[in-house]
A and B are shown apart, each in its own frame.
Chain A
Amino acid sequence: MKKNIQYIFAGILFLGFPLVVRSDYYQHLMILALLWVIIGSAWNLLAGYTGQVSFGHAMFFGIGAYTAGILAAKFQVSAWWGMLFGGFLAMLIGLFVGWVCFRLRGPYFALATLAGGEIFRLVATNWESLTEGMVGILIIQSFRSKLPYYYIVLALAFLCVYVIHLVMKSKWGYYFVSIREDQDAAESLGINTTLYKNISLLVSSFFTGMAGAFYMNYMAFIDPHVVFSLHYISIMAILVGIVGGVATITGPAVGAFIMVGLQETFRSAFFGLAPQWTSQAHALVFGLLVIFVILFLPNGLVGDWLKIKRNIFRMGVSR
């Protein structure tokens, strides 16, 4: 009961936010954070719950973004169709990526997906007749105000988290975690591990692709350097998952807000209060934060919340 009240309260806050906070700048930050809720949660399904740690989620983000962009720029179809088609195309590519990469495990899988992301970036950069290469794709924004974009991404974020919640409560959830814990034992218990790894990948890539298409619609400009970026997309997805809490439902959401907040705090040099050089420090801070989390809070802020309460707030009973 208490949990439901918390969710309703949070829901009201999110729904009312852009009506209360009218600044374009802060609305933009919230939209980014909600975008990362989607990407982080999708990554978490594959990596945190199913144990297949992907370093190449930019593949799916970029495919979604370019699907939307190419539909608009080349076929004169509204880029919003890209949300649907981008998601499906990302799933298709996901199947191919799974076919190649799932024969590998652990760090080898991670490296293979990292390579995959880079391959797509290079293809997008060089296939100029399709993607305009480094020139990028520019479209006309559908809305001048940020409000519609905010509510669309909020709905998407809610949908993504809710679907993942339902999936994890179902038989699939048991299977995904079994695969993560011990793939060989799972196989011997009758679990078709190849099939379920691919299912996890399909759901994960669909939402990431949709997020990419949304990004195209919102920013109105993309290029391969950003949407297929190892640093800005793939690694950021991992950070969001780790800091918030892998293998929790709300972890990536918490992580998204923290990482976007941190990123912006440093990029703007503490909103203008700190010396200029601090704007370059965000990569360093991210690195330190990840080290801190891995050493002391391996289950992330949400996963190790009890531990945090015990040590910082001196509340709760030791177990």
Chain B
Amino acid sequence: MAILEVKNLTKNFGGLRAVDNVTFRVGQGEIFGLIGPNGSGKTTIFNCINNYYPITSGNVIFKGKDITGWKTHKVCHLGIGRTFQVVKPLARMTVLDNVTASAFCRSGTIREAQSEAMKVLDFCSLLDQKDKLAKSLPVGGRKRLEIARALATKPELILLDETAAGLNPSELTGAIDLIKKIRDKGITVLIVEHIMKVIMTISDRIHAINFGQTIAEGTPSEVANNPGVIKAYLGEAYAQGERY
């Protein structure tokens, strides 16, 4: 059963067509990857799903409801959480306050929101840093904070935008484990990533785009062997079979 359907999504910025007629379906409980070179429109697609950017044409359907054009905060309340590629910590608030603020989405009182926040921080291994100001966290902590904040809104679908970028190898293993833990909780994951180790190992299916257009969709190995994908990522020479 598809939890998210993106149909013929198109986004223009003036004369620039950033997303061109993209269609895909994300099944409930799967980890769905979105790959493509930088500037291909992946983050724009995310921004269109939660209406952070208004859509030019096309539809976004979540749990059977057409949410095209819904206000961003309403999309969050419906059950879609997201992280930002360039992390947006609430800098002068503590880590705990960051997550508490987002836990209010589902909790009524401060006590409830804080206890929910503590649980989420524990899940993301940030509990020991709960009283630090968000701006004092290093990049790995900030990325986990982005995820923790999105998780505190109890989403059914979470959009992860390059959450593994900038992490060292040990942090990377931690990030992969966290994403698997999220999926094991029953949350569907839609993930944008460049790091092949991450996206190829954990995704159930992958959708590849370039210049805003779909070039391939399928299982990780199908997509990895697709000539269009190889050309887009590695260049023409590789696609035609030459090797260095």
Contacts and interface: CB of A to CB of B under 8 A. Distances in A.
Interface of A: 169-171, 174-175, 177-178, 181-182, 184-193
Contacts of B92: 177, 181
A187 B74 CA distance: 9
Nearest to A195: B73
Contacts of B52: 184, 187-188
A189 B110 contact: no
B110 A181 contact: no
A189 B153 CA distance: 7
A178 B89 CA distance: 10
Interface in B88-124: 88-93, 97, 100-102, 104-105, 109-110, 113
Contacts of A178: 90, 93, 101
A175 B101 contact: yes
Interface stretch (B22-30, B76-84, B189-197): B76-84
Interface string B148-192: 011011000000000000000000000000000000000000000
Contacts of A171: 104, 109-110, 113
B73 A191 contact: yes
A188 B76 contact: yes
A181 B93 contact: yes
Given A171-B104, A181-B91, A189 B97 contact: no
Contact of A185 (B88, B97, B113): B88
A177 B50 contact: no
Given A171-B110, A182-B88, A185-B84, A193 B104 contact: no
Contacts of A170: 110
A174 B99 CA distance: 10
Nearest to A176: B101
B97 to A, nearest CB: 7
Contacts of B77: 190
20 contacts: A170-B110, A171-B104, A171-B109, A174-B104, A177-B90, A177-B93, A178-B101, A181-B89, A182-B88, A182-B89, A182-B91, A184-B88, A185-B88, A187-B73, A189-B101, A189-B152, A190-B73, A190-B105, A191-B105, A192-B71
Nearest to A171: B104
Contacts, number: 74
A191 B101 contact: yes
B72 interface: yes
A192 B104 contact: no
B155 to A, nearest CB: 10
A175 B93 contact: no
Given A169-B110, A186-B101, 4 more contacts: A174-B110, A174-B113, A186-B90, A189-B150
B231 to A, nearest CB: 34
A174 B97 contact: yes
Contacts of A187: 52, 72-73
A188 B50 contact: yes
Nearest to A185: B88
Contacts of B100: 174
Contacts of B73: 187-193
B236 to A, nearest CB: 38
B167 to A, nearest CB: 20
Contacts of B93: 177-178, 181
Nearest to A183: B88
Nearest to A182: B88
Contacts of B109: 171
Nearest to A170: B110
Interface in B31-55: 50, 52
B192 to A, nearest CB: 15
Nearest to B134: A181
A49 B225 CA distance: 53
Contacts of A190: 73, 76-77, 102, 104-105, 153
Most A C-beta atoms less than 10 A away, residue of B52, B72, B150, B153:
B72
Most A C-beta atoms less than 10 A away, residue of B50, B73, B152:
B73
Interface string B110-145: 100100000000000000000000000000000000
A177 B133 CA distance: 13
A185 B97 CA distance: 14
Contacts of A181: 89-93
